[in-house]
Amino acid sequence: MIAHVAEAAEDRGRVVLWLGASAQASATAIDAAMFLASAYQSEVESLFVEDRQLFDLKSFPFARVISSYEEGWRDLPTADLDREIHFIGAALQRRIANMADRRSIAWRGRVVRDDPLAALAMACSERGPWNMVAIGEPFGVGKEAQLRELFATVTGTTGVVIAGPMAHRIEGPIVAAVEEVERLGPMLKSTERLKEASGARVILLLVGEHVGDLAWLEGEARLMLGDNADVTLDSVLVKKGDSSAVAGALRRHKAGFALAKYGGLVLPAEGSLRPLSAGLECPLLIVR
Amino acid sequence: MFFRRANKKDKQNKEISEPEVASEPTPANEAAAGEAAEAPSAEPGASETRVDPSKLGFETTAELEPSASPIGQRRALEALDFGIGMKGEGYNIRVVGPAGSGRRRAAHSRLEAAAQEAVSPSDWVYVRSFDAAGGFRALKFPSGEAKRFCEIFSDAIDQLADALPAAFGADDYEIRRSAIEEEYRFAREDALEALRRRVEEQNIAILRTPAGIAVAPILEGKVVSIDVFNSVPAALRKEVEAKIATVEAEVEAILQEAPAAEKARRERLLELNEKVAGRQVRAVIDEFKEQFAKVEGVSSYLSAVARDLVRNAGLFLKASGRVQESVMVPISTAGDLRFTRYRAHVMAAHSSTDGVPIVHESNPTYANLFGRIECSPADSGQAPQIVRIKPGALHRANGGFLLLDARALIAAPDVARAFRHALEEGEIRFDPPADPIGPLGGEIPDLEPIPLKVKVVVFGDEQAHRELATIDPGLQRLFKVEAMFENAIERSSETVAQYARLIAGLVKQHGLKPLDAGGVAMLIDQAAEQAGGNGHLSLSVAYLADICREADHWAGTAGRAVTSVADVERVLQERKDRLGEPADRSAA
């Protein structure tokens, strides 16, 4: 499946910015959502999910919370929880609305109280299938399960944008990691669409486990590119289960936006994504 | 010591034949020609005496050796020479005399001769002091070295603007930085994730919520409802609550370690950054330092600069002009406000072969004398920065001569007082009476005073000097030498001849056509009239020069190669008609 999101006028999809799972919001992830919407003339829907579990928890007499900026535990504010969560959501929505407004991007905001993933699946299914999900919080340690579940549950999406804890850059080359010949064309098409919006140069990062695989992939890529001098080719050898070499290549190219396939050498469906996500300095669009 | 003006009695007792300017070379025929021209009426007071052109001994001024010095100003010139040569405090010079007497030109000529023989003074540069007190320190350089220092310094900063982004963009830096981030930044996340996995097996969840982290009992991955929880036996509920309390304690312990870990992370990153930046900075600054090792203060200043550069290497990363790895854009930091802290401000720069400076400041405002500070506009998006410290006349003249007009000082009494303080203290201290720096909000940056050693020459007529002494009596003590320029000279055969040479000098100085003897005679007669017809000749050189220039104009208009008596006569007549000047002289 190629990375795609429906145009705003089509009413068949949008960039869904998924928020509310934690107190953190990634500015880079929000920027990436805006960038995608701008590139595809799509609209952004920021979906703030009030986790139903939290409201279940507040009934317990021992329910407490602690935050990284506070000392010690405090009782879960039973009486004020609705209000507190409401204002956190409202503040985020306002920030995103302002960003969309500045970039002339169609925007809508929605707040729901539900299981976060179920709410996301519902939002995407309402207008599908050309949705793109942007995870609005930093993609940190132990999020592999969440991503796996997202791809399994949220069928109405063509891809998911993540921004790691170190992500800070959105300007720079668009780097697409390609590990299969049949992906060369769709990936190139996606990067060229993104290039139109940013003007950044495009790099196809060929990924393989063996030198022979890479050489063959590179040959096919050169055939496909022909005399297209706007695209740069680079290649990197990756050990199965360790995509830190891809992270290194992205850093070296000072990538502003990256694309990779879910369930391969770069982003294995099983196993840790940490070698890549921890060193990621730009948003990464993970396509199915 | 004061040189007093010769009184009238002294003059009358003077031998008429005594040459006014002893040092002038006199052509052999000069005295004889003058005597012949003036012979019938050489007695003082014979105002009606006319000069006979035929007896002057020349056809045109082209035959005369132009006068090298002003005539009739021997005492003034001696006083000037004394004042110029005299060392010690307070031996500044008051040049007294009417405007147009040639006092300024004469003084300048004497000063130039002295200036060329003297050793060039030091150069001075202001640089930002990188100590806690802030402000600017003054660096003293051998003559001719300040500009070289500034050029090399500017190049060094430009080099770093290129080298530092390259160093911080290198792969090995990225790897080392990532390793530190890995070690510290994710430590908390790792610990929380490990705890989450461990307690999940005990049906306990660590929930991340917008309100913070919570610990909850779960069943099949979801938080149990209170009804379900209450339905289990009390002992089991107690057990779950105890487990939750234990997990909470662990969560709290992990979070409490975060600030210390963050501090350690920052320190390690800072250390890494200083190592990377330090290597680049040392490579550039050490070479630079070597070139100026013998200049006092430069080495310590450059060490301070190096420390600051390392600490603020981030400035250079933002300024990188790189477009891609293989194509470099030359970087200039000169116009970038972020780098003003590394700018050197030349306050005095000389050439080692030029001698000492002579600076004439006709408008001695505070800024023009003591310099000014220029700031970036307040709307430049940053706090106002000092972009330039501009030297004043005192900086430029330091080590040499400063020429001022008494009337201009009278018009600015505050400046005159500040000027006196500078001379008394022997230093240029920037302490303006009013805020000259606008955007800094009245805060005057601390500029280290620069030692001042200057010989000041103030020009003015007697009245102006009296007024100046009134507005600041202390100033008078600092002007121990007075050069009094006369406005008239006694007429004698010899002074008439000298006068002819003076006219020849003016003709040559202004590049005019030669003036014939008739014209010269008429000018001398006019000088006699101007002096009041009492056996004197006016020494108003400026007036004489004006007549010569205007006569030259008419001669040129008529297509003549020599300016004639008719041209001079026309000028005098027209001046009479136009300005009401006396022109009661007809051609002899």
Q: Complex ipTM, two decimals?
A: 0.80
- Reported as a single tens digit per residue, the pLDDT across B422-444 is 999 999 999 887 655 544 455 67
- Reported as a single tens digit per residue, the pLDDT across B153-203 is 999 998 888 888 888 877 678 778 877 877 777 788 888 888 998 998 889
Q: Which residue has the higher pLDDT, B55 or B566?
A: B566
Query: Which of B44, B10, B8, B81 is CA-nearest to residue B495?
Result: B44
- Per-residue CA distances from B153 to B34, B126, B222, B519 (Å): 65, 13, 66, 62
Q: Does residue B375 belong to any structural domain of this protein?
A: yes
Q: How far apart are CA B588 and CA B154, in angstroms?
A: 71
What per-residue confidence (pLDDT) applies to B130? 87
In total, how many domains does chain B have? 3
Domain's final residue, options B457, B485, B513: B485
| C-beta separation of B138 from B150 below 8 A | no
Q: Which residue has the higher pLDDT, B49 or B21?
A: B49
Q: Does residue B279 belong to any structural domain of this protein?
A: yes
Using the 8-state DSSP alphabet, how is residue B117 labeled? H
Q: Average the pLDDT over each of A169-183, B233-247, B319-333, B527-541 and give the range with the smallest value.
A: B319-333
Q: Which residue has the higher pLDDT, B137 or B260?
A: B137
What per-residue confidence (pLDDT) applies to B334? 63
What per-residue confidence (pLDDT) applies to B297? 92
* Identity of the residue in B193, B213, B223 whose CB atom sits nearest the CB atom of A67: B213
Q: How far apart are CA B219 and CA B229, in angstroms?
A: 10
Domain's final residue, options B433, B457, B485: B485
Q: Residue B507 corresponds to which tokens in the numbers above? A: 């003709």
Measure A213 CA to nearest chain B CA, in Å.
Answer: 26
Query: Which of B92, B87, B71, B59 is CA-nearest to residue B19?
Result: B71
Q: How confident is the model at residue B379 (pLDDT cuts 50, 70, 90)?
A: low
Mean pLDDT to the nearest integer, B315-340: 58
Q: Does residue B201 belong to any structural domain of this protein?
A: yes
Q: Does residue B107 belong to any structural domain of this protein?
A: yes
**Strand pairing report for A257-261 and B204-209:** unpaired
Q: How far apart are CA B337 and CA B529, in angstroms?
A: 65
Q: How confident is the model at residue B340 (pLDDT cuts 50, 70, 90)?
A: confident
Q: Which residue has the higher pLDDT, B34 or A71?
A: A71
Q: How many residues does chain B have?
A: 588
How many other C-beta atoms are found inside a 10 Å radius of the C-beta of residue A235? 18
Q: How far apart are CA B422 and CA B326, in angstroms?
A: 56
What per-residue confidence (pLDDT) applies to B38? 54
In chain A, pLDDT over 70 holds for what percent of residues? 95
Q: How confident is the model at residue B14 (pLDDT cuts 50, 70, 90)?
A: very low
Q: Which domain holds residue B459?
A: 73-121+350-485
| C-beta separation of A191 from A162 below 8 A | no
Is the pLDDT assigned to residue B39 strictly greater than 50? no
- In the numeric block, the tokens 């003590």 are attached to B477
What per-residue confidence (pLDDT) applies to B385? 76
Note whether B414 and B373 are same-domain residues. Answer: yes
Q: How far apart are CA B493 and CA B389, in angstroms?
A: 58
Domain's final residue, options B485, B513, B538: B485
| C-beta separation of A142 from A1 below 8 A | no
Mean pLDDT to the nearest integer, A208-230: 91
Chain A interface includes B185 (CB < 8 A): yes
| C-beta separation of B565 from B522 below 8 A | yes
- Decide if A141 and B186 are in contact by the 8 Å CB cutoff: yes
Amino acid (one-letter) located at B12: Q
Chain B interface includes A155 (CB < 8 A): no
Note whether B176 and B300 are same-domain residues. Answer: yes
- Decide if A53 and B189 are in contact by the 8 Å CB cutoff: no
What per-residue confidence (pLDDT) applies to A112? 92
* Identity of the residue in B193, B212, B217 whose CB atom sits nearest the CB atom of A67: B212
Query: Which of A141, A136, A160, A178 is CA-nearest to residue A273?
Result: A141
Note whether B296 and B388 are same-domain residues. Answer: no
Ramachandran assignment for B328, one of left (phi > 0), alpha (psi -120 to 50 degrees), beta (any other): beta
Q: Which residue has the higher pLDDT, B73 or B420?
A: B420
How many other C-beta atoms are found inside a 10 Å radius of the C-beta of residue A67? 15
Chain B interface includes A209 (CB < 8 A): no
Most confident option among A11-20, B69-78, B118-127: B118-127
CATH of the domain at B522: 1.10.8.60
Amino acid (one-letter) located at B63: E
Average pLDDT in chain B: 82
Query: Which of A242, A146, A67, A11 is CA-nearest to residue B256?
Result: A67
Q: How far apart are CA B381 and CA B412, in angstroms?
A: 37
- Decide if A84 and B210 are in contact by the 8 Å CB cutoff: yes
What per-residue confidence (pLDDT) applies to A85? 83
Q: Does residue B257 belong to any structural domain of this protein?
A: yes
What radius of gyration do chain A's Cα atoms show? 20
Domains (ranges, CATH) in chain A? 8-162 (3.40.50.620), 174-287 (3.40.50.620)
